[in-house]
Amino acid sequence: MRLAIVIVNYKTGDMVADCLRSIADTTELDTRPRVVVVDNNSPDDSADRIGQAIDADFQDFATLVRAEKNGGFSYGNNVGIRRALEDDPELDAVLLLNPDTIVLPGALDELAMFLEHNPEAGLIGPRLLEPGETDRRGRPQRSAFRFPSIASEFEANAQLGVVSTLLRSRVVAPAPSDEPHTCDWLSGAALCIRREVLETVGPMDEGYFLYYEETDYCRRARALGYRCWHVPDASIVHLEGQATGVTHAKPRRRPGFWFDSRRLYFMSHHGRLYAIGADLAAVLGTTIARAKRLLLRRPIHSPPHYARDLVTQGALSNGVQARRHRQ
C-alpha cells in the first residue's frame, strides 16, 4: 500500500517536528511514507522552523507547503491531499495526522496492512493513547464514535449514570475495544482515507473551520456505502488539545467556531428543527448536571457558559446558516 501523510500546522512548529521525528524513528527510509506538512499561514515563525527542520533532518520524505490563508482544518487538509496526490499518482491512501501526535513503532504498517487485507474498509483509524504513554499498554482514548443525535446530546451533558445506562446505545464515545470493529466515525487526529473514498466523496467541507469536519466526512462517506473501521493494533499517542487548547479533561469555554461547526453539522444532515432539538437537549442536560453538582457541592465539569452559548450561537440564533451537502 502506498501511503502518504498530511499534517496541518498552525503555530505548532515544535509539535510538527516531534511528529516527523517519530515517523522517521519508527519506519525504514525505503518504506517511509511521504509527508506533506501544510502551514495554514501561521502568524508566528513556526513555518520557518518546520522548513529548517525538514531541510536538516527530514528532507528525504517530508515537504512543506505554505497555504495562502488560514482557512481552517478542512482547508489545510484539502491543500495537503491535493499535493500528495499530485506527487504520487499511484497513491493508495492518505493519513490525516494531527501535529500533536507521536507515531509508535508498527502503527503505519498496521494501518497499511489492514487496508490491503480489508477492501471493504474505506476509512480507518488507529488506537489513540493518552499523552506520555510509550506502548500499547497505555490508556487508550475514545476515538471510534457513533453519530451525534438529540439523545446523545442529552446523555453527554446530563452526566447522570441512570441516563447513560438508559441511552447507552446512543452514547457518542463508547468505551475503547481491543478488537477491530466498524463505527460511525473516527477521530480526525489520525484518520486514514482510501484514495477511492477521496475521489468519490470529494474534498473535506471547508465550511467547517475546526471540529466536526471528520464527523461530516465520515457521514458523507457512509451515505455512499463506505464504512469506517477502528484498528487498535495500530497505536499513536495523541496529546489531546495541545494544538487547539480545547480538551475534555479541563473544560474551557468553547470558541465560536466550535458552535459554528456544530450548528453546520446538525443543520446539514438533519435540518433546522432537529438542530434546534439537539441544542435544547444539550441545554436541558447541562442544566440538570449543574443543578446536581451545585446541590452536592461538587465541581462543575461543563464548559463555562455552555448553555448560554448554545442559545446565542446554536440553531436558534441568527448565525451563519448551514449549507446542505449535495451528494
Res. 162: pLDDT tops 50: yes
Cell of 324: 446542505
What pLDDT, on a 0 to 100 scale, did the predictor assign at position 323? 40
Per-residue pLDDT tens digits for 222-235? 999 999 999 999 99
The pLDDT of 280-307, averaged and rounded, is 88
What pLDDT, on a 0 to 100 scale, did the predictor assign at position 246? 58
What pLDDT, on a 0 to 100 scale, did the predictor assign at position 326? 32
What is the distance between the alpha carbons of residues 43 and 46, in angstroms, rounded to a whole number? 8
Other beta carbons less than 10 A from residue 279's beta carbon: 24
Average pLDDT of the chain, as a whole number: 92
* Helix (H) or strand (E) segment spanning residue 309: helix 306-313
Distance from chain centroid for Cα 179: 21
The pLDDT of 312-323, averaged and rounded, is 67
**30: which residues sit within 8 A by CB, 6+ positions away?**
none
What's the whole-model pTM score?
A: 0.92
Per-residue pLDDT tens digits for 99-150? 999 999 999 999 999 999 999 999 999 999 998 645 445 789 999 999 999 9
**In residues, how long is the chain?**
327
The pLDDT of 288-300, averaged and rounded, is 84
Residue identified by cell 467547517 is 208
What pLDDT, on a 0 to 100 scale, did the predictor assign at position 296? 80
CATH superfamily of 3-141+176-238: Spore Coat Polysaccharide Biosynthesis Protein SpsA; Chain A (3.90.550.10)
Cα–Cα–Cα angle for 38, 73, 90, nearest 5°?
55
Residue type, 239: L
Per-residue pLDDT tens digits for 175-187? 999 999 999 999 9
Res. 90: pLDDT tops 80: yes
What pLDDT, on a 0 to 100 scale, did the predictor assign at position 316? 81
What pLDDT, on a 0 to 100 scale, did the predictor assign at position 29? 80
* Helical packing angle, 256-270 and 213-223, nearest 10°: 10
Is-contact 154 163, C-beta < 8 A?
A: yes
What pLDDT, on a 0 to 100 scale, did the predictor assign at position 243? 63
The pLDDT of 154-171, averaged and rounded, is 94
Q: Where in the chain is the domain with CATH 3.90.550.10?
A: 3-141+176-238
